[in-house]
Amino acid sequence: MRVVIGQGSCGIAAGAEKVRQALLKENINASIAGCIGMCYLEPIVDIYDEDRLTRLVKVSADDAPAIAEYINTGDRSKIENLVVTDEDSEFLSKQTRIALRNCGIINPEIIEEYIEKDGYTALKKALGMTPEEVIDIIKTSGLAGRGGAGFPTWFKWNAARNSEGEEKYLICNADEGDPGAFMDRAVIESDPHNLIEGMLIGAYAIGAKHAVVYVRAEYPLAIKRLKNALEQAREKGVIGKNIFGSDFSCDFMIKAGAGAFVCGEETALIESLEGHRGMPRLKPPFPAQSGFWRKPSNINNVETFANVAWIINNGGEAFAAMGTEGSKGTKVFAVTGKVKRSGLVEIPMGKTLRDVIFDIGGGMKTDKPFKAVQMGGPSGGCIPADLIDTVIDYKALGATGAIMGSGGMVVMDESTCMVGMAKFFLDFTAKESCGKCIHCRIGTKRMLEMLERITKGEGKEGDIELLEELCYAIKDGALCGLGQTAPNPVLTTIKYFRDEYEAHIKDKKCPAGECSDLIEYSINADKCKGCTLCARNCPVNAITGTVKKPHVIDTNKCIKCGKCYSVCRFDAVVKA
């Protein structure tokens, strides 16, 4: 029997390595895999008996003896409670995996395991074609940029190919800065060779001899596994000079980012690669004409490259057979927030948000109803519950005011304040604005100040209109994607949740009960048992009462920290 433990960053954080160590102590030879994407069930142990898979979930180190007993004797009785349920298995069986096809299945640290899954056969196949033929297949597939913009990949490749100059660069944007998105991290940590192969095919297509991966410094494990994969690929002769005996040579370089969201913008990324402050350049010239070191350069996102080898092997038509008229193939989403099953979901375009959140994601984690889903991070927007049947398609999502984005899907229930959500994103963009354009630098700051006022109960009549005016001014006045899209979270929340803004401004109330300045805590005397727990936890001694008698909160003293609310075991503390 073969025992494999999922070890992506989140698996390790959930204790996967401790489980592996415990199994090793039981003399079970447990190896590792990347992340299968069922993050809510980590740590996960997969036991293969020939082809039969037994998947154990939420395993702890204490379960090691029981697992060892099963492996040694076949006695399942002590592990039955760990076996994944049919319902949870559907999380995977309802997906269609292309970019993530090997994630959580192969060992990302061993190149042979990738090769066994037809790894590097697509590269070999591509090298037998002309670069134009490769670009043609990508064109047929309809593959579009998965980083957010959705620009046709073949078009960028073709432009870089047709640019004059001997020296060209192929760059992978692995600066996954959108809060709430982690599919690129998962691909690099779980299947780094798939990325390398996709990049090599791209480099061949555009005629680049140099490939660069720009990866976030916040992803140390991804960097480590990618470095290891590059070394193994070099040893196998997959990268370097005269790959597979052809005329094609390509070297690789990893550059670690240093923490700047704007570096996800391609010209800012190039500035950063050159060792400068990551401030966007004017376009044109586009990177395809003048990019890294002013040479023709092509930049694609990790997930885009992760589809390339599959497309070459299976044909452009097979990829284009999935999806809608304008959006082909599959897309990976990182589904998180108040959803029951959070993790990575790869599905064909054309499915609906309901399919992802309710059918695959299992609906809400608590009994509070679904309120909205945030898509596209700081550049995207909030899609409300009544648009849950929106089809996953670049155009259809764009029509809601949100964007497909890189695939972050943060699910919210009624406890999330939408004005607070807009404030959260503006706080982010105001900090991350590089400062080059006045509209973005000062506009986001002013918007943030207004949103702060509104959530403190100091909103004024006319604030909503002023916010909208500022939004459009920033959209028009900013040079790059960061500024142009920064107002989206505000515009979509105003569009769909205007009543919440009005409640904050006119009634000085936060309907979600999240804005601490607009809520008050009190104690329901009927429910209070007088256990004194709240009084003992109150940092400002605002709660008084005698043992076994209902307690009282002095609202003048109360600083609304919410401690009493979180410690009360009888739901007696009321937030309103």
Q: Does 6 bind another protein (CB under 8 A)?
A: no
Binders of another protein in range 299-338 (CB under 8 A): 334, 336-338
Taken in order 325, 329, 330, 331, the sign of the CA dihedral is negative
Residue type, 521: Y
Residue closer to another protein (CB basis): 231 or 476 = 231
Largest CA distance in the chain: 86
Q: 205: closest CA among 165, 255, 244, 170? A: 170
Q: Would you say 168 or 328 has its CB closer to another protein?
A: 168
The encoded tokens of residue 99 equal 């970019």
> Contact with another protein (CB under 8 A): which of 217, 466, 473, 547?
217
Number of residues that bind another protein (CB under 8 A): 58
Residue ranges in 176-205 that form contacts with another protein under rule CB under 8 A: 176-182, 185
Give min distance, CB of 253 to another protein, in A.
10
* Cβ closest to another protein, residue 81 vs residue 566: 566
Phi, psi (5° rounding) for residue 12? -65, -40
Give the shortest CB-509-to-another protein separation in angstroms. 19
User: How far apart, in whole angstroms, are the C-alpha atoms of residue 297 and residue 209?
Assistant: 11
- 387 within 8 A of 400, measured Cβ to Cβ: yes
Check if the beta carbon of residue 486 is closer than 8 Å to that of residue 265: no
Q: How far is the CB of 178 from another protein (least distance, A)?
A: 7
Minimum Å distance from CB 356 to another protein? 15
- Name the nearest CA neighbour of 403 among 117, 148, 78, 36: 148
x/- site string to another protein, residues 432 to 471, per CB under 8 A? x-x-------------------------------------
**Cα gap 137→124, rounded to integer Å:** 15
Nearer to another protein, 185 or 504 (CB): 185
Strand, coil or helix: 227: helix
Dig out the tokens for 486 from the structure: 């920064």
Binding mask 10-49 for another protein (x = CB under 8 A): x-xxx------------------------xx-x-------
| Positions 80 through 139 that interact with another protein (CB under 8 A) | none
Q: Which of residues 243-272 bind another protein (CB under 8 A)?
A: 255-261, 272
Query: How near is the Cβ of 96 to another protein at its closest, in Å?
Result: 21
The first and second tokens of residue 424, run together, are 């959260």
d(CA 64, CA 255): 39
Close Cβ partners of 215 (under 8 Å, ≥ 6 residues apart): 174, 175, 188, 222, 223, 226, 254, 255, 256, 257
Query: What is the binding site for another protein (CB under 8 A)?
Result: 9-10, 12-14, 39-40, 42, 176-182, 185, 217-220, 255-261, 272-278, 293, 334, 336-338, 342-343, 374, 377, 408, 410-412, 416, 421, 424-425, 428, 432, 434, 539, 561-562, 566
